[in-house]
Structure 1
Amino acid sequence: MRLLNSKIGRIVISVALVFTLLVGVGGSIAWYKLFREVPTYYESPADHFKYGSIGAEATQGLPYWLWMVLPRLFPEYLPGAGGYTSLGITWEPGEELPIGFSKKTIGFPRQGITCALCHTATYHKTAEDVPTIIPTGASSRFNLQGYIRFLSNCGEDPRFNADYILAGISYVRNLSLLDKFLYRYIIIPQTKKALVELQDSFAWMDKRPEQGLGRIAPFNPVKFVVLGLDDDGTIGNSDMMPLWNQKLHKDFALHWDGLETSLTETTIAGAIG
């Protein structure tokens, strides 16, 4: 007690209080800038299907502003002009995001994918018509394999560094000094690491036939990436399916291999993986 009442004791207490305050403020800023979650909501069920978050942003998404400028910074890894639309992704006029992509703030704006990416069809009666969009249809033009390779090739490129990425972001977004610091030392390095890991996780694709437009290998990513099983050489490429009229498939041999007959279990398994 005598020590606490002494001059040295008061100094120690003051330093401890200041340190605690700084830790608290720093922790609050870190939470706000890196982990704070802001819910998203769309009034229209169709818009929610096309753009609403399914929770993929935190674990499978990318920083939104970084993702937005990748086609500008690395166009050579896309199949043609038009940015993400060159991969068969549909972008409605006036919308911030292409169909099948979500934007959600988890500390900072992040991008994720939605079910609509593989399950939205389009058609037009003439070449000049604006495409008519059919939610829950099959995305017969989407090049999923090309999208994965685009992202992984960007991550492997030596230009994928803070200077190059921040310069690209500056064309579309004026980041604050704190945000620039976080992007330079945390967000961009961690994103590069994740994209390099993406390349490794999907290296098995190079040993299989090309999946083609509107097609996907639904089970190999689950086996090799999620479950960590050894590469067994199997080929499971299949068409992206429409989601309508599912009752017509009741009691059918379902899934790619026909080993599932429960429509409910098939739907749940598809939603999970």
Structure 2
Amino acid sequence: MPSSVTPPPSRWKQRFLILFALTVLLPAAIVLWLVGRFGGDSPVDYADPVEHFKYGSTGGEHEMGFPYWIWRALPEVCGHYLPGTGYQSLGMLYETLPNGRLKDLPVGTSKRRYQGVDRVFVNCAVCHTSTVRAAPNQPPLLVAGMPAALFNMKAFEEFFFQCAADPKFSKEFLIPEIQRQGAKLDLLDRYLVYPAAIAIMRDRVLALKGRFEWVFEQKAWGPGRVDTFNSAKVIFNFPMHRLDPKEFDAPADFPSIWLQRPRREPRAMELHWDGNNTDMTERNKSAAFGTGTTPPTLDLPRIKRVEAWILDAEPPAFSKLFPIDADLAARGAPLYKHYCATCHGASGRDFSGEYVGRVTPLAEIGTDRRRLDSYTYTLAVNQATLYAGYPWRFSKFRKTYGYANMPLDGIWLRAPYLHNGSVPSLRDLLEPAAARPKVFWRGNDLFDPVKVGFVSDSPDAGGKKFFRFDTAEAGNGNGGHEGVAYGTGLSPDDKAALVEFLKTF
């Protein structure tokens, strides 16, 4: 009777199966595991447009992103390079969770899972969000879209450059701190991924430090300001040491970004402080470079979400925190119409006016010229090469001859005033330059509702030290925007009425 037992496979078949497993199945499994572990590109997304603005990605984490736990550990390991405790001491803002604890990342940063590591870098909100307080004992109101009046970008950059050059920027110091903070690193993270990430980030930041040495040679910008276009010259490999010295020390205030739709419709306004571009999408993509993006890494869908929000985002009303004297404001309305409306719009929502969003020649406006001189014709020509080969290649950047007249929506939250932030309050701006404060302090979010500006007459408060702003220094001049045409000759009562009306914007 035939046996029903299957005969054992021949020896050659066994060898074939073993060889197949070792040369095909095992490598395939390893590849699939590696793809799952180190592949993927997943930013953290937010359904709410304001939350997306505050924490959503622009794509900068791809090239500039710090591994999340390195970002968390650096303020502890390199705290001696900070003016105080943590990123808060640089003016970065942390929101409070319902449980009373602070969020793990500040406003203006985003997180993305890329190459197997959670990466963190800044986004648009780091330059366009700040806080305002009505009284010293009241909590701050966080306002998305206002100038980042507390954020010290130069100190932020210098912190990373100095830390990368410190021996403590190493696995021997960072990994113990990362573990102390509660990171659950697996063996691969502990002995391979994070040691490699630390070495790569150190080399990358040191390379940037070499290119941005000019930053250390400039005077301090202070909170709320940035030397935008000299940074762009570094990107284009300009020989910074050979540039005209008049191009340097040209920081300007961060602008507000509310109500962009009426800035492009029915006619395109001249954007940036000097009106060097009329295309809002070019302006936005240019600004995205400041968040670490490059043409190939720009996250267009998520930037478009920000663009959609800022079209109609509105500033909070002054009356949300402070009362407005309706009778005094009514007295100021005709004064505003006579002295201001032609250049700044009929109101805080109606931007109509012959010269609104148009450049006023420097000889006429008379404000500090450093910001204008820092943006050169050569830089404009170089910017025209950006996004070459893309449908959105830049073509609208140009050199101008003055400063653009801005609409005044939310003007109460845009102090200090003028393009370089050299005048602390609206009331001070209505004085001749000789009567404006020569020295004041920036970095306070406590608001003065009478003069309309942040309190600026003290170097410190509540243990916090503020930045001393000296208008005698290069780029800080507080002259201009004065004379009969600008209302500086009005009586004190009329000036008070005009300021009261501006509170309604």
Q: TM-score range by the shorter chain?
A: 0.7 to 0.9
Give the Cα–Cα distance (whole angstroms) in 2 for the partners of residues 22 and 256 of structure 1.
60
Question: For each residue in 1:94-142, what CA deviation from the matched residue of structure 2 results, as whole angstroms up to 9, or x when unmatched?
Answer: 2231100112211111112110000002101112222101101100110
Counterpart amino acid of 2:95? E
Contact kept in structure 1, 2:90 and 2:155, CA below 8 Å: yes
Shift in Å at residue 176 of structure 1?
0.8
Counterpart amino acid of 1:215? R
Aligned to 2:496: none
Contact kept in structure 2, 1:162 and 1:183, CA below 8 Å: no
Confirm or deny that 1:159 pairs with 2:147.
Answer: no
Give the Cα–Cα distance (whole angstroms) in 1 for the partners of residues 68 and 18 of structure 2.
42
Contact kept in structure 1, 2:77 and 2:168, CA below 8 Å: no
Aligned to 2:465: none
1:32 to 9, 29, 36: 36
Residues 87 and 156 of structure 1: CA distance in aligned 2, closer, same or farther (over 3 Å): same
Aligned to 1:80: 84
The 5 Å alignment of 1:109-188 reads 109-172=118-181, 173-188=183-198
Shift in Å at residue 31 of structure 1?
3.1
Residues 211 and 16 of structure 1: CA distance in aligned 2, closer, same or farther (over 3 Å): farther
Contact kept in structure 2, 1:254 and 1:261, CA below 8 Å: yes
Residues 209 and 181 of structure 1: CA distance in aligned 2, closer, same or farther (over 3 Å): same
Aligned to 1:63: 67
SS in 2 for 1:111: strand
Counterpart amino acid of 1:266? R
Give the Cα–Cα distance (whole angstroms) in 2 for the partners of residues 185 and 135 of structure 1.
37
Give the Cα–Cα distance (whole angstroms) in 2 for the partners of residues 184 and 266 of structure 1.
36
Give the Cα–Cα distance (whole angstroms) in 1 for the partners of residues 157 and 26 of structure 2.
42
Give the Cα–Cα distance (whole angstroms) in 2 for the partners of residues 76 and 34 of structure 1.
34
Shift in Å at residue 200 of structure 1?
1.4
Give the Cα–Cα distance (whole angstroms) in 1 for the partners of residues 289 and 194 of structure 2.
34
Residues 14 and 221 of structure 1: CA distance in aligned 2, closer, same or farther (over 3 Å): farther
Aligned to 1:103: 111
Counterpart amino acid of 1:140? A
Contact kept in structure 1, 2:44 and 2:110, CA below 8 Å: no
Counterpart amino acid of 2:79? P
Contact kept in structure 2, 1:216 and 1:239, CA below 8 Å: yes
Q: Could you tell me the TM-score, scaled by structure 2's length?
A: 0.49
Shift in Å at residue 215 of structure 1?
0.6
User: If you compute each CA radius of gyration, which structure gives the higher value, 1 or 2?
Assistant: 2
SS in 2 for 1:25: helix
Counterpart amino acid of 2:191? F
Residues 49 and 67 of structure 1: CA distance in aligned 2, closer, same or farther (over 3 Å): same
| Count of matched residue pairs | 266
Aligned to 2:51: 47
The structure with the largest helix share of the pair is: 1
Question: For each residue in 1:181-214, what CA deviation from the matched residue of structure 2 results, as whole angstroms up to 9, or x when unmatched?
Answer: 2334421111111121121132111232222211
Question: Runs of 5+ in structure 1 lacking a partner?
Answer: none
SS in 1 for 2:113: strand
Aligned to 1:91: 94
Residues 29 and 87 of structure 1: CA distance in aligned 2, closer, same or farther (over 3 Å): same
Confirm or deny that 1:266 pairs with 2:283.
Answer: yes
SS in 2 for 1:31: helix
Question: Runs of 5+ in structure 2 lacking a partner?
Answer: 1-9, 98-102, 291-505
SS in 2 for 1:122: strand
Contact kept in structure 1, 2:111 and 2:120, CA below 8 Å: yes
Question: For each residue in 1:223-263, what CA deviation from the matched residue of structure 2 results, as whole angstroms up to 9, or x when unmatched?
Answer: 212x2222125224111111013435866543244433445
Residues 267 and 166 of structure 1: CA distance in aligned 2, closer, same or farther (over 3 Å): closer
Structure 1 window deviating more from structure 2 (176-185 vs 257-266): it is 257-266
Give the Cα–Cα distance (whole angstroms) in 2 for the partners of residues 272 and 178 of structure 1.
33
Identical-residue share of aligned pairs (%): 30
Q: Could you tell me the TM-score, scaled by structure 1's length?
A: 0.86
Aligned to 1:238: 252
Q: CA RMSD in A?
A: 2.5
Residues 45 and 218 of structure 1: CA distance in aligned 2, closer, same or farther (over 3 Å): same
